Structure 1
Amino acid sequence: MKLSKICEKIKYECLQGSMDAEVRDIIYDSRKIAKETMFVCMVGAVTDGHKYIPDAVEKGASVIVVERDEEAAQIPGTITVLKVESARYALALMSAALFDYPAEKLITIGLTGTKGKTTTTYMIKNVLEAAGKKVGLIGTIGAMIGDEKIPSKNTTPESYELHRMFASMVEAGCEYAVMEVSSQGLKMDRTAGIMFDYGVFTNLSPDHIGPNEHASFEEYLECKSMLFRQCKIGILNADDEHSEAVAANHTCEIHSFGVEDNNEKTFLGKPLDLVAADLGFIKENGKLGMYFHVKGCMDCEARVHIPGRFSVYNSLVTMLVCHLAGISDQAILDGLNKVQVKGRVEMLPVSKDYYLIIDYAHNEVSTRSVLTTLMEYHPKRLICVYGGGGNRSKLRRYDMGEVTGEMADLCVLTCDNPRDEEIRDINNDIKVGLAKSNGKYIEIDDRKEAIAYCMVNAQPGDMIVLLGKGHEDYQEIRGVKYHFDEREAVAEILEEIKEGKRVRMV
């Protein structure tokens, strides 16, 4: 593609060379530079791309994009040099052009907020697919394009990767792209130039504040608010105290949702579009969930088999987005009733007598949240199976031990991803926290055996929650990743019980 076409939507100064230069690809990682590529010198918190200009020259880059005039002095005249104000912003717009603006060929749905993004993106994806739509997804767990799964380092990938993923979705026949839009992604211009069809705000609480993230809560909030100057339709949680601040200076059409209380709610002077009322807890046949009535743009009874009050808010987002996108109410309700999100309070149907849940929680805050949710269902016993990550903070282990010891009836300490540490050393750290709350525990190093112990000893009404692995399908031990999927382990244990190799004790 000609350089002039790639640069058609950015402001630049051509310091030397020709805009007729041919560009095969855009590179921002110096290790990937090749002949006839454009190298973009991005300035980050850790490194400055300008220091890799000699590499770009040596490897045959045809174009180099800089932020400083003086950098051009070291570049031969045979190479085209462009100067831009922000290389990150330019990368986003040039990447969109290189892939022929794929986001414009999709219905794009972007979600921002502190909690609930991952779960809600999967809920929206599942409901749309149940309605017969083909959907791509990008987020914390990685990207999904059709049946293909692509790992990702960031919740919101760098702009080049983002547009490459969008292009793959278009090629695969996707109609929709649902993605998590992190505050860092917005701050670092990874989504610059994209006009989302729908932008969603879930909630906001202090997080990601510190070195290399956000200088203050105010900056964190401001970054979240950027989405509502970058979408056509904005959908916000009216029950969150920060929603009006997030919506300030919006340029989009606004819709809102919330849970009914005794007051007539409004948001920015307008009635809420969708309100949930008469919330109740589902606890039947080994399944947990919520039921509720919705009124507003939809008027119906809804059920979701994801436990906890927060799942009502995630359901409201899903229902409002899909309703505005033209999906029928019945298709939305049918899809919602079947939705499960891998590794996020994921129910495994193992027995009518007890409950088995998989969750990714691996720190004090997320663990307290999931255990508080499960305690609302009044289990006979709450049993936690977990370990801790090796080569990670001991403080996290102490905190995990303390919160599980305080809230669970029994903790079964086992293997997670020990990495370069010994399982027993990690669990000894967890026991420091358990001692603070006098928590009852046993130790079974083999994770499958730990799960089996709980399953064969489960009493009617017990809830067994497997913490820490979630969507992961491996265990990392001494630098090697071994396949391990808790769902497969549970299925094997059930088969072994059926064959009489393991005996249920209750």
Structure 2
Amino acid sequence: MKLRELCEKIEYTCLQGSMDVEIADIIYDSRKLEQGTAFVCMIGAKTDGHKYIPDAVAKKASAIVVEKEVDLAEIPAEITVISVASARKALACMSAAYFGYPARELTTIGLTGTKGKTTTTYMIKSVLEHAGKKVGLIGTIGSLAGDKKLPSKNTTPESYELHRLFREMVKEGCSHVVMEVSSQGLKLDRTAGIEFDYGVFTNLSPDHIGPAEHASFEEYMECKSLLFRQCRCGIVNADDEHVEGILKGHTCEVKTFSCEKQADLMAENIGFLQENGKLGMHFHTKGCMDCEARVHIPGRFSVYNALVTMLVCHLAGVGDEAILAALSEVQVKGRVEMVPVSDKFTLIIDYAHNEVSTRSVLTTLLEYHPKRLICVYGGGGNRSKLRRYDMGEVTGEMADLCVLTCDNPRDEEISDINNDIKVGLAKSNGKYIEIDDRKEAIRYCIENAKEGDMIVLLGKGHENYQEIKGVKYHFDEREAVAEIMEEMKKGLM
């Protein structure tokens, strides 16, 4: 593709060379430079791409994109050099052109907010698939085209990777993509140039504030708000105190959802579901949908996630009956995920692995008044001891029994990690036992469960491995539970 075609959506100044030069690929990581490529000199937190211009010259790149003054005398005349105001925005627009603007071939749904993005993206994907759509997903847990896993790194990948993923999804037959749009992704222009069909705001609370992320809460909110200047329809939580700040300067049509206020979709008569070992919520909606809804994901926050899902899918043309049927079946891997084991007690898998997320999930489960709340967890090796103290303290305070076991000990000993957790448990007088083998810890809980118990396996969530002494061993808690149940069944026969 010619450089001129790649740059059709950006403003630039050609400092030397021809815009009609052929470009084999776009590179922003100097280690991947090859002959005939265009090198985009981005400035990051740790390095400046302009330092690697000599590498681009040595590798015979065809073009170099800069945002700072450079010494043209050091760049051969046959290499085209163009200057832009923002190399990051240039990369985003050039990448979209390079991959043939794949986002235009998809219905694009982007979610931003502090909590609930991962769960809600999966819920929307599930409902759309139930309605016969093939859906791509990009987020914290990874990227999917339907059921096919696609390689990706960040929650919101770099713009080049993002458009590559979109193109893969189109090739795989996807008609929709639902993705998490992080504040960092918006700040760093990873989604620049994309006009989302639907932009969603879940909620906002202080997070990601620090030297390497956002300077202040105000900047964090400002970055989140950018999504609503690049989408056609904004879908926002009317109950969140920061909704006005999020919509400041918006250029989109706005739709609202709420549990407390007048909105386009409202939930009322909210209640807790607890049936046959399953937990969830039920509620009535009014507004653009008038119906009784059920979701088998526990907690009041699930009502908000369900409202987002219902409103997005309703606006996307899915029928109400199809939405309600799919919503009642949705489970999100590793996020308060219920594993059917018994009608008498409940077993849940959740990714919570710090004090804040653990307190949140345990608070949610206690609203269902379990006979006993039992936590199975360990701690990550080569990580802060403070996290272990905090995990011990919160679980000791809120759970009836903690079963300390193996998580990802990495280079540390399991006993050393669990000794740190015990420091926190001692602060809250928490009861505990230790079973180092995680499968055996789960077996102990299942074999000794009483009617009305809730067993929550914390820390692994969607992960399917344990990292021990530099080796990743396959371990999936769902498989472990299934094996335990089969072994128990055979033992009874």
Counterpart of 1:17, as a letter, is G
Contact 2:93–2:192 (Cα < 8 Å) also in 1 = yes
Counterpart of 2:421, as a letter, is I
Structure 1 segment 51-200 matched on structure 2, within 5 A: 51-200=51-200
Identify the residue that residue 345 of structure 2 maps to in structure 1.
Answer: 354
Counterpart of 2:452, as a letter, is G
Counterpart of 2:329, as a letter, is K
Please state how far the C-alpha of 1:74 moved relative to its aligned partner. Answer: 2.1
| 1:244-273 deviation digits (Å, cap 9, x = unpaired) | 11111111000001114xxxx34xxxxx10
Contact 1:41–1:66 (Cα < 8 Å) also in 2 = yes
Counterpart of 1:125, as a letter, is K
Residue 435 (1) aligns with residue 426 (2): yes
Which moved further from structure 2: 63-72 or 286-295?
63-72
1: distance between equivalents of 2:474 and 2:257? 41
Counterpart of 2:389, as a letter, is Y
Which moved further from structure 2: 106-115 or 63-72?
63-72
1: distance between equivalents of 2:372 and 2:72? 68
Identify the residue that residue 443 of structure 2 maps to in structure 1.
Answer: 452
Which moved further from structure 2: 243-252 or 111-120?
243-252
1: distance between equivalents of 2:143 and 2:380? 24
Q: Alignment partner of 1:500: what SS?
A: helix
| 1:219-261 deviation digits (Å, cap 9, x = unpaired) | 001111111111000000001100111111111000001114x
Please state how far the C-alpha of 1:72 moved relative to its aligned partner. Answer: 3.2
Identify the residue that residue 221 of structure 1 maps to in structure 2.
Answer: 221
Counterpart of 1:220, as a letter, is Y
2:315 counterpart (321, 324, 347): 324
Q: Alignment partner of 1:388: what SS?
A: coil
Identify the residue that residue 309 of structure 1 maps to in structure 2.
Answer: 300
Identify the residue that residue 269 of structure 1 maps to in structure 2.
Answer: none
Please state how far the C-alpha of 1:151 moved relative to its aligned partner. Answer: 4.2
2: distance between equivalents of 1:156 and 1:123? 18
Q: Alignment partner of 1:21: what SS?
A: coil
Residue 345 (1) aligns with residue 345 (2): no
| 1:63-107 deviation digits (Å, cap 9, x = unpaired) | 111112224332111211111111111000000000010001100
Q: Alignment partner of 1:94: what SS?
A: helix
2: distance between equivalents of 1:73 and 1:313? 59
Contact 1:141–1:151 (Cα < 8 Å) also in 2 = no
Structure 1 segment 294-443 matched on structure 2, within 5 A: 294-443=285-434
Counterpart of 1:469, as a letter, is K
Counterpart of 1:400, as a letter, is M
Alignment length, in residue pairs? 493
Please state how far the C-alpha of 1:286 moved relative to its aligned partner. Answer: 0.9
Contact 1:139–1:155 (Cα < 8 Å) also in 2 = yes
Identify the residue that residue 49 of structure 2 maps to in structure 1.
Answer: 49
Contact 2:41–2:66 (Cα < 8 Å) also in 1 = yes
Identify the residue that residue 24 of structure 1 maps to in structure 2.
Answer: 24
Contact 2:152–2:161 (Cα < 8 Å) also in 1 = no
Q: Alignment partner of 1:193: what SS?
A: coil
Residue 289 (1) aligns with residue 280 (2): yes
Counterpart of 1:336, as a letter, is L
> With structure 1 as the length reference, what TM-score do the two structures score?
0.96
Q: Alignment partner of 1:372: what SS?
A: helix
Please state how far the C-alpha of 1:480 moved relative to its aligned partner. Answer: 1.1
CA-based RMSD = 1.0
Please state how far the C-alpha of 1:55 moved relative to its aligned partner. Answer: 1.5
Please state how far the C-alpha of 1:153 moved relative to its aligned partner. Answer: 2.3
2: distance between equivalents of 1:416 and 1:74? 53
Q: Alignment partner of 1:245: what SS?
A: helix
Please state how far the C-alpha of 1:211 moved relative to its aligned partner. Answer: 0.9
| 1:155-199 deviation digits (Å, cap 9, x = unpaired) | 100000000000111111111010000000000000000000000
Residue 235 (1) aligns with residue 248 (2): no
2: distance between equivalents of 1:221 and 1:70? 35
Counterpart of 2:276, as a letter, is N
Please state how far the C-alpha of 1:60 moved relative to its aligned partner. Answer: 2.2
Counterpart of 1:64, as a letter, is I
Contact 1:141–1:152 (Cα < 8 Å) also in 2 = no
Q: Alignment partner of 1:276: what SS?
A: strand
Residue 488 (1) aligns with residue 479 (2): yes
2: distance between equivalents of 1:282 and 1:151? 37
Q: Alignment partner of 2:328: what SS?
A: helix
Residue 462 (1) aligns with residue 453 (2): yes
2: distance between equivalents of 1:119 and 1:416? 22
1: distance between equivalents of 2:157 and 2:283? 36
Please state how far the C-alpha of 1:58 moved relative to its aligned partner. Answer: 1.5
1: distance between equivalents of 2:446 and 2:71? 64
Q: Which runs of 5+ in 1 are unaligned?
A: 267-271
| 1:24-69 deviation digits (Å, cap 9, x = unpaired) | 1111111111111111111011111111111122122111111122
Counterpart of 2:175, as a letter, is E
2: distance between equivalents of 1:400 and 1:69? 51
| 1:282-325 deviation digits (Å, cap 9, x = unpaired) | 11111100000000000000000000000000000000000011
2: distance between equivalents of 1:42 and 1:62? 17
2: distance between equivalents of 1:131 and 1:20? 46
Contact 1:347–1:355 (Cα < 8 Å) also in 2 = yes
From the superposition, tell whether residues 199 and 129 of structure 1 become closer, same or farther in structure 2 (CA, over 3 Å): same
Q: Between the two proteins, what is the percent identity of the paired residues?
A: 78
Q: Alignment partner of 2:313: what SS?
A: helix
Q: Which runs of 5+ in 2 are unaligned?
A: none
Contact 1:140–1:152 (Cα < 8 Å) also in 2 = no
Which moved further from structure 2: 56-65 or 124-133?
56-65
From the superposition, tell whether residues 73 and 418 of structure 1 become closer, same or farther in structure 2 (CA, over 3 Å): farther
2: distance between equivalents of 1:170 and 1:281? 40
Please state how far the C-alpha of 1:479 moved relative to its aligned partner. Answer: 1.3
| 1:359-406 deviation digits (Å, cap 9, x = unpaired) | 000000000000000000000000000011111111111100000000
2: distance between equivalents of 1:213 and 1:351? 44
Identify the residue that residue 207 of structure 1 maps to in structure 2.
Answer: 207
Counterpart of 1:337, as a letter, is S
From the superposition, tell whether residues 27 and 295 of structure 1 become closer, same or farther in structure 2 (CA, over 3 Å): same
